[in-house]
Structure 1
Amino acid sequence: MDAMNSVATEPDEPQLAEPHLRAVLASAGLDVEYVRAEGNTLHMRGEDGREIPVVDFAGGYGSLLLGHNHPVITAYAKQLLDAATPVHAQFSLHPEANRLAVALNRIVRRELGDDEPYLAIFANSGAEANEAAVKHAELDRVLRLEAQLEKVGKSFEAAGYAVRGGKATVPDTTWEGAGLTAPRPQDPTEALGVLVDALTRRNAEQAARPPVFLAPEGSFHGKLVGSVQLTHNEAYRAPFKSLAAQARFVPVNRPGAVQRVIDEERASLLGLTVTGGRVEIRRHEAPVICAFILEPIQGEGGIQELTREFAEEIQSACAAIDCPVVVDEIQSGMGRTGTFLASSDIGLRGDYYTLAKSLGGGLVKTSVLLVRESRYRGQFELIHSSTFAKDGFSSLVALKVLDLVEADGGAVYREAGERGARLKDMLHAVHKDYPEVVKDVRGKGLMLGIEFHDQSDAPAPPVQEAARAGLFGYLLAGHLLRGHRIRTFPTASAANTLRFEPSVLLTDAEIQQLDTGLRDICDIVRGNYGRPLSLPAPPA
């Protein structure tokens, strides 16, 4: 405790660490200091310095499937540190990382019912894993484009041999099909030369088009330079739109939407073929669409689930144009929804998977990109790297996490499903009793959300002002914290939706505590304005 006090900010110290965010936290009553954590409980410091327990339903934004400071994980981490396990041993063999990749493959392939292996690229955070996915997909696209251009070039050569050998001519239909309006030269060789020049220029224009990524509306994949462009929330994306490849956002769970966007964005290269003595144009798919990236359950988008039908449409449409599907399981994976991969429950098979958050057991910062072997480009390993990725300490802790979630035939998965169902039943009961306040309950397992109706016209000025400023969810979170000792937040891109991502250690008493808190705020929002949303300082 003395060591912790030694780093506490003194009253006269300047606020230099994200001071604007500190002011936002204060406005919502969320400016508290947490000093200790275990299981589902965080302890905040009261005004008199004493610890006040708070039930943590935010769960590290989905990072704490096994809870804060799980005793087995922390004991193992201490053991590794005592053994002086290397952290910095870059550009050498990393057997621990390979063991982790093998363990992940065993679980993923079991869930998918497929024997094709996935090769692993390690990183430090979910956003970094998604950035690696974007980079790998773009490398793959560029190499596929080069191969297509080479194939088209060989088709030009083959047509030239046929024409010069008197075995083929260029008919008017081919000339017009290339968009040429000038009269076709009578000499076949000259006509072919003009045709090839025109197709080469057109193909060069198509090949120079920037890559396009597809993602569902409501997506969130990080806030780094590349990943932020895949995040639907324009407030996060727009200031940086000139820095990276752009995305097209597809309406969620709308039949035909994926194919319509693909048809609008797809491109082609024009080659030649000789059929029956005629030189004809042959169209080849140009890989302009780089990847389709999605979350099976959108976290920051308001806990929105993708349907099986939508997943099938994505899979089918992307396969038809050889476009990889990147499945972001950073929040939903690791068993949080009752299966290791939430996507496996809707029949979706990714070409890439990204995992993070709970992979580190709530202790280490680690993540991984898994790429299906038939998609993998080995040269990526030499042009992409990360200082802290695949270190022995983090890899071994992640292996211990996998041991824990897989133990007893996947008891953690079953517990996540059972505890999640119990929590969701409670949320549905609140929805049923307060339909004019609560709009919807969504999610699966221990990744749940409750959406409130818009309160922009609420009679109570504080509620109305917060709603119009997009801070209604933070006002509710502040009341739950100060009035009920419950920690949660709204989802980043859907501020009227509160998230609930606790650990599998969730108890019935903690669910009841949340029930009481939610009913209290529903009573206040519904009309009990004599008792305002509470934002007092924590009591002693």
Structure 2
Amino acid sequence: MKAKSQTLDAAACARQALEWIEKPSLSFEESTLLNQDTLQSFKEYVNPAFLEYRKSVTTSGDYGAVEWRASSLNTLLDTRGNEYIDCLGGFGIFNVGHRNPAVISAVEHQLAKQPLHSQELLDPLRGMLAKTLCALAPGSLKYSFFSNSGTESVEAALKLAKAYQSTRGKYTFIAAHGAFHGKTLGALSATAKAAFRRPFMPLLPGFHHVPFGDIEAMRERVFRCNNRGEGVAAIVLEPIQGEGGVNIPPDDYLRAVRQLCDEVGALLILDEVQTGMGRTGRMFACEHAGIQPDILCLAKALGGGVMPIGATIATEEVFSVMFDNPFLHTTTFGGNPLACAAALAAINYLLEHDLPRQAMVQGQFLLDGLKSLAARYPDIIVEARGKGLLIGLAFVNNEMGYRFAQEMFRRQVLVAGTLNNATTIRIEPPLTITLELCQQVLSTAGEVVETLRKPVQATTVNAALPTG
């Protein structure tokens, strides 16, 4: 085992980091030093595999692209001053853009009062955010539990469903192939990718997976479980599978699943960690189907691109299992004042600027252009699909998808693959993206696809997207 360096000084390391944080700009020499330090730190103290995975964000094979700051709601600067159109959106974090002034202002004002709550006095912003989400969420969803991430929001949903259904003798969960619900032990049991699951087996018992979008397969598995005495506690689904490759189910699928849950007394948990907060053209993707779940999971964009926060929202009937003992499931930092301030500002901005509608309009413009591109290059692109500003561009193979992401980066547009489907490149910009930027992205994509017809140069690195 490699020994830890004895020359490290924690105070010196922290001081150096604070110096970087406090610098408003960098000279060329400073940017070079920061890049070198970042690469070395990832290699020695974070995980060297990240340098391999980030191969697409380089122009010379030295993995030198280091993020510095946001330059607008829709663009980023690296340490060398290169500006990128963000068509990745932090995998769905930046719905209201980067460093949204309204969100920053709310967090700064709360920071001046009290960053974290005492844990004993009642914290007002948690109540305000829960009330706001009750008004925002569909149907009879009412009570909220706050956490720090999407994985935690799913974990809370699974525990809530277990607590509610245990007295009814129902313990089984059904999820979908291609699903991604997070990587803590419970959420990972619902996630479907073998590469993420295998090292941690056995996972939680009682989880089954069926093909996504196939209501007959879902019905068959539900009744098979019931007939074997394995009552179904809940069905867990993403309305659109994000990490699975932007997979969109048939129009009547979610309604049919909702009816099936009602028929057998199972709960419906919808994971809208990525699809929620206006991403698909409605505030929540389930609204396209005109349904409400029993439990709704949110995170990512809920924090306005400034603070991490997750929310698990449930009906009063389901959430009531927590009334006798509110400490049955808790988290120290969940629903902290800074995160709640960011979430409230993000919700207000989404509504005031009608960003769900903007996502629908800009998303359709992008999707139409990418579908046209796919039709012109069927030997390279299999399909363009999406809803709102959650778009997937499926390539004929992983290598082609990787080269597309790399060439887009070289032209200063950020895109990336999905965790559960390596051949699909995700295009997921902030909902604040303008039509002018959308047109620039389409023009750049057209240039890139044309270059993909050329033979791979000897210097081209191997595909670094995860294998699907």
Relative to the length of structure 1, the TM-score reads 0.74
- Does 1:407 find its partner at 2:407? no
1:529 corresponds to 2:455: yes
Matching of residue 87 in structure 1 with residue 116 in structure 2:
yes
Query: Is 1:295 aligned with 2:238?
Result: yes
Residues 360 and 389 of structure 1: CA distance in aligned 2, closer, same or farther (over 3 Å): same
Q: Does 2:435 align with 1:508?
A: yes
Structure-2 separation of matches of 1:27 and 1:118: 43
Shift of 1:326: 0.3
Does residue 1:478 correspond to 2:421, yes or no?
no
Q: Return the alpha-carbon distance in structure 1 between the equivalents of residues 152 and 366 of structure 2.
A: 32
Secondary structure at 1:305's aligned position in 2?
coil
Q: Distance in 1 between matches of 2:275 and 2:442?
A: 24
Task: Decide which of 230, 253, 265 is 2:213's aligned counterpart.
Answer: 253
One-letter identity of the residue aligned with 1:502 = P
Q: CA deviation at 1:381?
A: 2.7
2-structure distance, mates of 1:475, 1:503: 23
> For the pair shown, which has the larger CA radius of gyration, 1 or 2?
1
Please list the CA deviations of residues 166-187 of structure 1 after superposition, one character each: whole Å capped at 9, or x if unmatched: xxxxxxxxxxxxxxxxxxxxxx
Counterpart position of 2:418: 491
Question: Hey, what does 1:277 align to over in structure 2?
Answer: none
Q: What residue number does 2:202 align with?
A: 242
Number of the residue aligned with 2:152: 128
Give the percent of matched residue pairs that are identical in Structure 1 and Structure 2. 27
Equivalent-residue separation in structure 2 for 1:101 and 1:12 (angstroms): 43
**Secondary structure at 2:276's aligned position in 1?**
coil
**Where does residue 339 of structure 1 map in the other structure?**
282
> 1:226·1:244 contact (CA, 8 Å) conserved in 2?
yes
Shift of 1:487: 0.8
TM-superposed deviation, 1:257: 1.3
SS in 2 for 1:382: coil
Deviation at 1:287, TM superposition (A): 6.2
Residue identity in the other structure for 2:78? M
Does the CA-based 8 Å contact 2:56-2:402 persist in structure 1? no
**Residue 97 of structure 2 is aligned to residue 97 of structure 1:** no
Measure how far apart 1:383 and its partner are: 1.7
Counterparts of 1:70 and 1:365, CA distance in 2: 15
What residue is the counterpart of 1:392 in the other structure? 337
Partner of 1:173: none
Which residue number in structure 1 is paired with residue 46 of structure 2? 17
Deviation for aligned residue 1:521: 3.3
Match of 2:226 among 266, 285, 293: 266
Conserved? CA contact 2:35–2:66, under 8 Å: no
Of the structure 1 ranges 307-316 and 417-426, higher mean CA displacement relative to structure 2 is found in 307-316
Unpaired runs of 5+ in structure 1? 146-206, 269-285, 455-466, 536-540
TM alignment of 1:142-221, pairs within 5 A? 142-145=166-169, 211-221=171-181
- Matches of 1:262 and 1:96, distance apart in 2: 40
Give the distance between the partners of 2:256 and 2:459, measured in 1 at CA: 45
Name the CA distance, whole Å, in 2 between partners of 1:12 and 1:291: 45
User: 1:274 matched to which residue of 2?
Assistant: none
Alpha-carbon distance change, 354 to 22 in structure 1, aligned in 2, over 3 angstroms: same
Distance in 1 (CA, whole Å) between partners of 2:34 and 2:450 is 41
Q: Structure 2 vs 1, CA of residues 78 and 533 (structure 1 numbering), >3 Å: closer, same or farther?
A: farther
Q: 1:514 to 1:531 in 2, by over 3 A?
A: farther
Q: Kindly indicate whether the alpha-carbon contact (under 8 Å) linking 1:229 and 1:241 is maintained by their aligned counterparts in 2.
A: no
1:452-467, aligned counterparts within 5 Å?
A: 452-454=395-397, 467=398
Kept in 2: contact 1:67–1:505 (CA 8 A): yes
Listed as ranges, the gaps of 5+ residues in structure 2 are 1-18, 24-29, 462-468
58-67 vs 511-520, which moves further: 511-520
Task: Specify the code of the residue in structure 1 equivalent to 2:79.
Answer: R
State the partner residue of 2:68.
Answer: 35
* Distance of aligned partners of 1:229 and 1:95 in 2 relative to their CA distance in 1, 3 Å threshold: same
Aligned match of 2:14: none
Contact 1:359 1:367 in 2 (8 A): yes
Following the alignment from structure 1 to structure 2, what is the Cα–Cα distance between the partners of residues 227 and 425?
35
Report the equivalent of 2:360. 417
How much does 1:534 deviate? 6.4
**CA distance in structure 1 between the partners assigned to 2:40 and 2:422 by the alignment:** 34
Distance 2:151 2:257 in 1: 22
Q: Is the 8 A contact 1:420 1:444 kept in 2?
A: yes
Match of 1:201 in 2: none
Q: Supply the RMSD in Å over aligned alpha carbons.
A: 2.4
Paired residue for 1:313? 256
Question: Structure 2 matches for 1:107-126, cutoff 5 A?
Answer: 107-108=136-137, 112=138, 114=139, 116-126=140-150
Kept in 2, the 8 Å contact 1:89–1:391? The answer is: no
Question: Could you tell me how far 1:8 is from its partner in structure 2?
Answer: 6.0
Aligned position for 2:392:
449
Is it true that 1:383 corresponds to 2:328 in the alignment? yes
Are the equivalent residues in 1 in contact too, given 2:35–2:79 (CA < 8 A)?
no
C-alpha spacing 1:433/1:407, structure 2 compared with 1 (3 Å): same
Report Cα offsets for 1:274-324 as digits up to 9, x if no partner: xxxxxxxxxxxx663221111111100010112232212211222122110
8 Å contact kept, 2:404–2:449: no
Alpha-carbon distance between aligned partners in 1 of 2:326 and 2:366, rounded to the nearest angstrom:
43
Tell me, yes or no, if the aligned pair for 2:404 and 2:452 is still in contact at 8 Å.
no
Per-residue deviation, residues 243-296 of structure 1 (Å, max 9, x unmatched): 32342112122241111011221257xxxxxxxxxxxxxxxxx66322111111
Q: Hey, what does 1:44 align to over in structure 2?
A: 78
Q: Does the C-alpha gap of structure 1 residues 342 and 532 become closer, same or farther in structure 2, counting only changes over 3 Å?
A: farther
